[in-house]
Structure 1
Amino acid sequence: MTSLVTPGAGARSIDGSPTPGVSRTDLPGGVRVLTEAVQGVRSVSLGIWIAIGSRDETAEQAGAAHYLEHLLFKGTGRRTAAAIAEEIDAVGGELNAFTAKEHTCYYAQVLDTDLPLAVDVLADVVTDAQLAHTDVELERGVVLEEIAMRDDDPEDLLGELFDEVLFADHPLGRPVIGSEESIRGMSRETLHDFWRGEYTTPRMIVAAAGNLVHNQVVDLVGAALAAAAARHGVDASPVPPRILTSRFTLGAGPRIALRTEDTEQAHLMLGVPGLDRYDPRRPVLNVLNTALGGGLSSRLFQQVREQRGLAYSVYSATTAYADAGSLAVYAGCAPERLGEVVGVVRDVLGGLAADGLTAAELARAQGSLRGGLVLGLEDTSSRMNRLGRSELDHGRQRSITESLDRISAVTGDDVAEVAAELLSAPLTAAVVGPYDDLDELPAALRDLA
């Protein structure tokens, strides 16, 4: 069995140079431990991140990562599901998890004095779950209810429909939660094999932020994982890299999807492929997105809501994956006004593609991003998430100063170039609303079929 820890292992920054406030230790089994000491707080947020998400599933496994998110809390070799909940509730802590397309995170937030408990419970859940047949069946019903709840939320349903059209047969086009068919057909063996085969220590990152001492966290994590290895073994074999395409390209099929629902509003998502997370122009796209639909002064909010009153909710958002991304606009409006909304959105996108941003828009967007970045790190949970995601996505930590400088360095010409490239691409659309077929949609959408 591979040793998983050297107690008191020294801390270092990711790239060998100091990263203010952040320490890192690589344990011999491959687990990376990153911490950020935050002054003036009495809490610690701790997360075990696994570089596995829904895009890593086969068709048979679709929804497995999210299904496991439920199952791992149902009991371990040392704790029942009730005991897990009771131990965390007894200290006023929070214990939860989330699954995304490229990663999964199991996390806790507790008082600083309860950090040893949080480490022990999280490590126990992630490495020593029982996955009992009765729990698999129980949670199958819960996940199916979650799918039904998703189907009752037009905005959530719309986002998955949009990804399905944009990414087509690419694994990124599948919903994180899986489908009713895949969940009904998921066996306990499939779930167990996915868990044991993919939750390997080289894929794990432990991130913690708050009132902590780095070496204490390292010792706690190492002891917990060593105990898990002694019980049943922990796979520390090298992780094969994801097979990535060099650049995502649109398929030749229809670029619009309709989900007929008896809703009071029509829900629209209209967008284009974006930039992957390694693209050096990501800060430029963030500035563009903020000016497009990221706030009350954005073009979309002003043109669609303030000046025309066409929708209550309208915004834009980006996603970034290892080899693909998207830039999309959402709007919810009265069904009879969908055509007008589409026309205004397309005009806004066309204007940005042709002319970029004004100097005032550029300055406002940069100021909004800088302020949001700093204000978003006011709590330990946000800082823990930044640590984990930065390590998973880039293998290094950027200081706040570096991130702020990257935003400030964006020029109007940079934005104009990215806007011309991305917003001139063919549009992809998804609609959820009271329309029986595509022929009932406005002409500005039917031309995408």
Structure 2
Amino acid sequence: MPVGLPPSQVSSSCFLWTLPGGLRVAFERRAGPGFAFDLRLPHGSAHDPRGQEGAAGMLEEWLFKGAAGRSARALQDAFDDLGVRRSGGVGPEATRLGASGLKDDLGAALALVADVLLRPTLPEAELPVLKDLARQDLEALEDSPADRLALGAREAAFARPAGSVLAGFAHPASGTLQGLAALTAAGLRAHLEGYGQAGSVLGLVADLEPEAALDLAVGALGGLRSGSCPQVEAVFQPRVRVHLADADAEQTHLSLTAPGVAPTDPRWLPWQVALSALSGGSASRLFHAVREERGLAYAVSASPVMLGGRGFLTAYAGSTPARAPETLQVMLAELARLPRGLSAEEFRRARAGLSASVVFGAESARARAHALTRDVAVFGHVRPLTELRCRLAALTLEGINGFLEDYDPASALTTVTLGPEDV
């Protein structure tokens, strides 16, 4: 085991180490022939330099255009020769690089990802092609009402922090037309210097001794540059009302955003139970009130979103233009009655549903590796499955309703609609 890195045992099968450069390695031993890892770098679209929107998305594509003397095709062939399945992408707050395959190929797969980050070719001749693909992606967004609504909701709900040199949350990973035009090879190379160990997390699942897993991680990524971990504040704008006109739309789409609970807040799990009761299946409040009882919308849902270390509630429904006003009224009414609490049956179903999702969500090694990186990056520690299930089992109806007495999302809602007529 590397000197200075004693094992930090989280549970009988989970370990967490911090490398000298700052990279945190979360490992879970799991019996089986395969492996999965997920490397989370704290640089997403929100961290694009202001005026260079699209930098993170462009850079992630550019990195895989060759590395360590390999062409783009040779690099892809190297992954394919191992039989590994690549995963990842760019989100608002992170870039993820991952792979899964057979355990014997774990070291080689980690080495390939290290080559991508440490020894990329970055051929400038590829940039015009990548920019054109990003522009096509932006054009495709215009043809997708759901994507346009999601983007409009972020623009309405989250203002760019005043004076920030970072672009913030109000643009897609593909960027903006103006931002793409401003991107240069030199600017992207400078942006890549921030991609390092600071704030990064490697989640690894495999049937290995902890010392062997750590040795592989250190051998591949221990030489990664220091990098940076920039912070983007999620500044929520309450009670904003925006309508996006689409004269040709056959549906009206509704998006609601409200403050929630931060992941590190002790009320996080009670909030999750409340959201599950609101929108956790066919017996949930929104599904029953909007679809089953009144037939107002085929699709209606609510879910938590984490941005800037904070939690937010988002709700969606798609309805006919004629019935959209009633759909919105019913959704608002369901949110407004949350402070009155849950019934015993609602609580039982919501808690059972969350417990089941914890179990089934961890069945896949890839999903578990992703969960490990998310836990460390967002919650600050690994949440072992047995501990999480015990914490859910310890929740009570009285505790949930006590939390809900002070939770009134309807009072601060920001509402965005898209369709032929304002609702």
The letter for the 2-side match of 1:236 is S
The answer for the alignment partner of 1:392 in structure 2 is: 377
Shift of 1:376: 0.7
Shift of 1:419: 6.1
Cα deviations across residues 244-265 of structure 1 (Å, max 9, x unaligned)? Answer: 58xx55368x432424262322
Shift of 1:236: 2.5
The answer for the alignment partner of 2:277 in structure 1 is: 291
The letter for the 2-side match of 1:73 is F
Shift of 1:344: 1.3
Structure 2 residue 422 is matched with structure 1 residue 441: yes
The letter for the 2-side match of 1:250 is Q
Match of 2:173 among 173, 176, 190: 176
Match of 1:42 among 33, 48, 51: 33
The answer for the alignment partner of 1:309 in structure 2 is: 295
Structure 2 residue 323 is matched with structure 1 residue 325: no
CA distance in structure 1 between the aligned counterparts of 2:344 and 2:56, rounded to whole angstroms: 45
Shift of 1:149: 2.5
Match of 1:242 among 231, 235, 240: 231
Quick check: 182-191 or 116-125, which moved more?
A: 182-191
Structure 1: gaps of 5 or more residues: 1-5, 443-449
Percent identity between the aligned chains?
A: 29
- In structure 2, relative to structure 1, the CA distance for the partners of 1:92 and 1:323 (3 Å cut) is closer
8 Å contact 1:288–1:419 — kept in the other structure?
no
Structure 2 residue 191 is matched with structure 1 residue 194: yes
8 Å contact 1:209–1:380 — kept in the other structure?
yes
Shift of 1:114: 1.2
8 Å contact 2:254–2:417 — kept in the other structure?
yes
Shift of 1:371: 0.5
CA distance in structure 2 between the aligned counterparts of 1:318 and 1:103, rounded to whole angstroms: 18
The letter for the 1-side match of 2:202 is V
Shift of 1:132: 1.7
Structure 2 residue 189 is matched with structure 1 residue 204: no
8 Å contact 1:9–1:25 — kept in the other structure?
no
The letter for the 1-side match of 2:209 is V
Structure 2: gaps of 5 or more residues: 162-167
CA distance in structure 2 between the aligned counterparts of 1:145 and 1:91, rounded to whole angstroms: 32
TM-score computed with the length of structure 2 as normaliser: 0.91
8 Å contact 2:302–2:313 — kept in the other structure?
yes
The answer for the alignment partner of 1:22 in structure 2 is: 14
- In structure 2, relative to structure 1, the CA distance for the partners of 1:161 and 1:141 (3 Å cut) is same
How is 1:29-428 mapped onto 2 (pairs within 5 angstroms)? 29-39=21-31, 41-170=32-161, 171-196=168-193, 198-225=194-221, 229=223, 234-236=224-226, 239=228, 242=231, 244=233, 248-250=235-237, 254-260=240-246, 262-353=248-339, 355-416=340-401, 417-418=403-404, 420-428=406-414
Q: Give the root-mean-square deviation of aligned CA atoms.
A: 2.3
Runs of 4+ in 1 over 4 A off after TM superposition: 6-11
Shift of 1:375: 0.9
- In structure 2, relative to structure 1, the CA distance for the partners of 1:23 and 1:356 (3 Å cut) is same
8 Å contact 2:41–2:200 — kept in the other structure?
yes
- In structure 2, relative to structure 1, the CA distance for the partners of 1:119 and 1:261 (3 Å cut) is farther
Shift of 1:145: 1.9
CA distance in structure 1 between the aligned counterparts of 2:390 and 2:334, rounded to whole angstroms: 28
SS in 2 for 1:172: coil
The letter for the 2-side match of 1:22 is C
Cα deviations across residues 59-97 of structure 1 (Å, max 9, x unaligned)? Answer: 123221222121111111322111121122223321132
SS in 2 for 1:192: helix
Cα deviations across residues 32-51 of structure 1 (Å, max 9, x unaligned)? Answer: 22211111x22111122112
Aligned residues: 416
